[in-house]
Amino acid sequence: MKTLFWPASPNTLFNPSFQSYFLTTFFLMLGVSISNSAYAHNGSVCYAHPMSKVTIDGDLTDWPQGMTIYPVELFDGNKPDHERDCKAQFRVGYALDNRSIYIGVEIIDDDYVLSPDNPRYDMHDLQVLYLDPAHTVTNSGVIAYELSEDNRKIVHQEEMQWYPQVKNASWDNVEVKIKREGDRTVYEWRIALGERLVPGHSIGFDYVFFDKDTDEGFKYFSWGAGGMKFANFQSLGDLVLVPAAQEMNTISGRLSAGKDEKGGFPPTVTLECTKPEGFWLKAMVDSTGYYQAKVPVGTYTISVPNKLVLDEEEENPFRVTAAPITDFVVKSGKAMELPTITLNKTFPRDMLPAKGILHNFNAAAGRQVDEYVTHLQRFYDIPGVSLALIKDGDIVYYKTYGVQNEHSQVPVEESSLFEAASVTKSVFAYVVNRLAERGVIDLDKPLHEYLPFEAMEKFPDYKLMTGRHVLTHRTGLPNWGIDLKFKPGTDFGYSGEGFEYLKRVVMHITGKEITEVLKEELIEPNGLYNMHFSQLEKGVLEEHGVSGHYDAIPSIQFYPEEPGMAWSMFTEAKAFTGFAKVIMERKGLKPETFKSFLEIHTETPEWSDPDSPYKQGFGLGIAVRETPYGIAFGHGGNNGDFECMYEMYDDLKMGYIVFTNSNVGDFIARGLPELLVEGKKKKK
């Protein structure tokens, strides 16, 4: 069952403050959505044969003849405009005497753009070469070499300290030459790998091209599929270091979904050599379940990734599992067809009781909560959780689970801070309601009369937009971006952009930074703590901030340059109970203001259970839904690699707060209303 109360739109992932160098681009790269499918190993394989040393001069005529040429042709959706626009290919080899790999890249592009004074990725033609020399089966860091004629860097080196090889990477072992003649550009590389270069082994490898055109067009394309390559070794392909004078041998096989041929086929299977050790690769699985790969001789195990499969509505998640085929021997010059592997489906356990366990909470109920969280955390690979439960206005259960970073394995602690994402909106909304109560801001006065939104001037109707429209999500603004979808006040449209506009208005009216306003109006009067909003408090965030994760792969730790009132709070469950209790105990606002704050002004039927008689929607900046136990207020949050939720049953004075550092953390949150308060809903 999907949670009926999840006001954080999936589109909250991006906003203007997230436009840091390379971050947003790689989330979006190649049309990849932030979901489980985005992080499957891409299955691309290339083969490097031994070769003599060549001169790195941008001239490939001294390379061996007859080498395999690999095309690079996975575009993000913007296809080349014509035959001479943006075509690329590469060849690859290695030399044992200097333990280096050689990569020769050729690009045809009749519109070559340089930008010596602006290093932004989208201002010129550039490439990024990705290497994972360690290439372990479990996890290893990716070195991302960004190169153009005028700039070079290693992408996000400082933000991923948990990968030692990335932390210590430099250009000292890299020799590269760029040479352009006519509309053809050659990028010739030599990368010394030292002991990492072992014939018969493989390394992680991929290549992405960014093409800037003088007409302001911009496109990117890659050799292998998958996004977030700089942070996720599983988004790379395999570069096989073929041993000298050894024939590669083809193995093939098929996966079967059994009676349910609708699938759940994993995108790849893993082939791992056990004798001799050190070689592995991923073979791509097609839509029929067929796979094929060329590998060196040896004894192998083939396994199927334990893949999480979600339907479009994310209603019936399951995992695909299968028994591995072990100890099969690949012999020289002999193709092998392996037995069919039958896939099995495993589902999360149904752990929802007939009656919510928070009504009569005791030690046994606490163990039930712990079992629920632990089971779902394991099933969905959710690295870390911070959870607090409130009953009769007080904390009756608090626990942290798992790790701050899947790679470092540092445990989540009480002081560990999670991104609260759109939960931030309800905190800011409370403050705005306080200001409105004192007449500092008029919620029905057009915001442009306080402070024009210059980028919106091409939409005259934006001048009708008020603070009330922002808090009730009726501005007409999209979630993020400059547009007007409808006349303000006439419809519902969830918008973080509106909250950021209102933030700027509040700062303009008060003449204060927004964090100062938050401290004066909320944090200090109520003795709240562990509520942080930007890298202005960087020391605290660097010490206590946990890593977000996409499918259990750590993403870069990003701290916003300025506070965002739609998305940028960092906090944890125990501390955040203080804010929930401020509302439950009706502190800081008049009764009539609280009444307006917590009543539904905008219904959201598209987010509701169509079989439920109860309404849900937005109050004045906070999400509200009707329940059999009276109203529940709260908010959800989704920054992509962090998902969270809090909800308080107002009449019962009970509720829950949960923060996770995972893109699938919602699967813990969505069952909590039934587990804790409402009991399992009967299916019709």
Q: Delimit the CATH 2.60.40.1190 region(s) of the chain.
A: 32-241
| Helix (H/G/I), strand (E/B), else coil: 336 | strand
Query: What is the percent of the chain with per-residue pLDDT over 70, rounded to a whole number?
Result: 92
Contact (Cβ atoms closer than 8 angstroms) between residue 19 and residue 208: no
Q: What is the pTM of this model?
A: 0.88
Q: Which fold has domain 32-241?
A: Immunoglobulin-like (2.60.40)
Residue 79 vs residues 27, 83, 210: alpha-carbon distances, Å: 19, 11, 12
Positive or negative CA dihedral for 647, 674, 493, 566?
Answer: positive
Residue 1 in this model has a pLDDT that exceeds 80: no
Where exactly does CATH 2.60.40.10 map onto the chain? 249-346
Query: Which CATH code fits 249-346?
Result: 2.60.40.10
Q: Where in the chain is the domain with CATH 3.40.710.10?
A: 380-623+630-654
Question: What is the three-class DSSP state of 385?
Answer: strand
Tell me which DSSP letter residue 324 carries: P
pLDDT in tens, 192-213: 999 999 999 999 999 999 888 8
C-alpha distance from residue 321 to each of 137, 158, 262, 338, 664 (Å): 17, 36, 15, 18, 19
Note whether 282 and 307 are within 8 A (CB): no
Residue 652: Cβ within 10 Å count: 20
**Is the predicted pLDDT of residue 21 greater than 50, yes or no?**
no
| pLDDT above 90 (res 591) | yes
Burial class (CB in 10 A: 0-12, 13-18, 19+), 115: middle
* pLDDT digits 0-9 by tens, 316-362: 888 988 999 999 999 887 889 999 999 998 999 999 999 999 999 99
pLDDT tens profile 40-65: 346 789 999 999 989 999 999 999 99
Confidence at residue 42, expressed as pLDDT on a 0 to 100 scale: 60
Q: At the top level of CATH, which class does the domain 380-623+630-654 belong to?
A: alpha beta
pLDDT digits (tens, 9 = 90+) for 510-525: 999 999 999 999 999 9
